[in-house]
Amino acid sequence: MERDVKTRDKEEIYEKGLTLALSGYQLIEASLKLYLRNYFNIARYLISDQLYFGFDGKDYDNAPLGKLVSVFAKTCPDNNLVSELKAEISHRNHIAHQAALNLYRKEPLPKEQFSELSDEIENHSRNITSLLSRLNEINQQLKSRFE
């Protein structure tokens, strides 16, 4: 059965929301990598004449979100931000692995389930925006101390 125009429109909106959410998670990963590079460079500079420091941000260039958050947690004084990032890991995995599969189903999802997934993606998109803003702030704070 051919999907009607209304269903296709909803699917397009869902796909765009999903793409934006996944892109947001990629930006979170990039922000964490930038923070770790800066943090390790600053730490190396501050203690290199007293102590060997072999940590390098490049070591985390290919790390997944969970690993990045784990290392970030050891360098960031904002426990609330760390907790919120940890909470997003499972949501990111769900969106990346389960929500994306719904785009390729032969039959559309039941209306209620489709609506729930759409709402979930929308809610996490707001969380992602907030997290990106806070990560930007903490990156700026770190850099501003040493510029």
The total number of structural domains in the chain stands at 1
Residue 46 located in a structural domain: yes
Residue 118 located in a structural domain: yes
Residue 18 located in a structural domain: yes
Token pair belonging to 66: 């969970």
What number of other Cβ atoms are within 10 A of residue 132's Cβ? Answer: 16
Res 3: pLDDT = 54
pLDDT band for position 134 (cuts 50, 70, 90): very high
135: domain range? 12-144
Residue 83 located in a structural domain: yes
Give 129's Cβ-side CA count (13 Å radius).
Answer: 8
Residue 19 located in a structural domain: yes
| pLDDT tens profile 86-129 | 999 988 888 877 777 777 776 767 778 777 888 888 888 899 99
What is the rounded CA–CA span in Å between residue 71 and residue 62?
13
105 φ, ψ (degrees, to nearest 5)? -75, 145
Residue 110 located in a structural domain: yes
pTM of the model: 0.85
Residue 7 located in a structural domain: no
Residue 136 located in a structural domain: yes
For tokens 């997003």, the residue is 88
What is the rounded CA–CA span in Å between residue 28 and residue 49?
33
What is each CA distance from 138 to 43, 82, 134, in whole angstroms?
16, 12, 6
